[in-house]
Amino acid sequence: MSTSGHIEKNRLEKPPAKLKLKIQRREKEGANAYWETFELQYRRNLNVISALMEIRKNPVTIEGRKTTPPVWDMSCLEQVCGICTMVIDGRVRQSCSALIDDLLLESGSDTITLQPMSKFPNVRDLKVDRSKMFEHLKQVHAWIELDGSHSLGPGPQMSNETAQERYAYSRCMTCGCCLEACPQSGDDKYIGPQAIAQARLFNMHPTGKMDLDERLDGLTGDDGIGNCGNAQNCVQVCPMNIPLTKAIYETNRDITVNSLFGWLKK
């Protein structure tokens, strides 16, 4: 075993008796941010949400001052809904799947820092408003029009290769990690990789192709795909390993082809 392996093993065998959560807080949108630190008894196999729930039972800071319980969003607790996303030790991720043991190993410290995502309006404490992501989905027409008044029969067939690529894009949970990590995202100047990937998902569907022009038009505005700087931070932080850069490349190609030859369809 390497020296680093011995160090990691020793750290796991000798965890801290207590751990600290340093939380960036805000009473309401527009108010000044401030920090509070809480101390907890260490227990194995905790995730960040479990630690926050422990604090909520008795919200007393490390200085012994009684305070309000921290506010955050959570729902599925299985890394499916995406709403518990926050910045943990400087990296955006889901708090339900962020394990305390792993975080302590990464930092080599007994303190974990929690902050809200910075690319969204901060409602309170760790809670943000991700509404703009859903507005972006409307902008790219991220759905397939169907007539539900009668049976349409079996759906159109697609190749296994296409189905697998579409499945990868369909795993997006609109968590916001890609926008938080993207240097171009912010101030509504770039629609972001999430919406582009969803446009790609529905443009690859045999029925969805009927609205291809509308989706591509939604990506050619001032906040469109042209503002991507190819930083590739999005694929580094995506919790579902969605091939976001591939979606951006393929969609950019479709926009170019549609601009050059779209008149032939008219």
91, 237 Cβ separation under 8 angstroms: yes
Helix (H), strand (E) at residue 55: helix 48-57
Assess whether pLDDT exceeds 90 at residue 9: no
Range of the domain at 227: 131-146+154-265
Let me know whether 82 and 18 are in one domain. Answer: yes
Q: Print burial letters for 85-122: b (CB count within 10 Å at least 16), e (below 16).
A: bbbbbeebbbbbebebbebbeeeeeeebbbbbbebbeb
Contact between residue 39 and residue 20 where contact means Cβ atoms under 8 Å apart: yes
Which residue among 79, 94, 128 closes a domain?
128
Cβ atoms of 215 and 144 closer than 8 Å: no
Looking at residue 117, what is its pLDDT?
A: 98
pTM (2 decimals)? Answer: 0.88
Does 246 or 146 have the greater pLDDT score?
A: 246
What pLDDT is attached to residue 262? 66
Q: Are residues 180 and 110 in the same domain?
A: no
Residues 59-71: tens digit of each pLDDT = 999 999 999 999 9
Which amino acid belongs to residue 184? Q
Q: Angle between the 193-203 and 244-261 helix axes, to the nearest 10 degrees? A: 60
The region that residue 217 occupies, defined by phi over 0 for left and psi between -120 and 50 for alpha, beta otherwise, is alpha
pLDDT(10) > 50: no
- pLDDT per residue as tens digits for the range 114-142: 999 999 999 999 999 999 999 999 999 99
- Are 124 and 141 part of one and the same domain? no
With bands split at pLDDT 50, 70 and 90, how would you rate the model's confidence at 12? low
Number of domains in the chain: 2
Task: Reduce the DSSP state of residue 17 to 3 states and report it.
Answer: coil
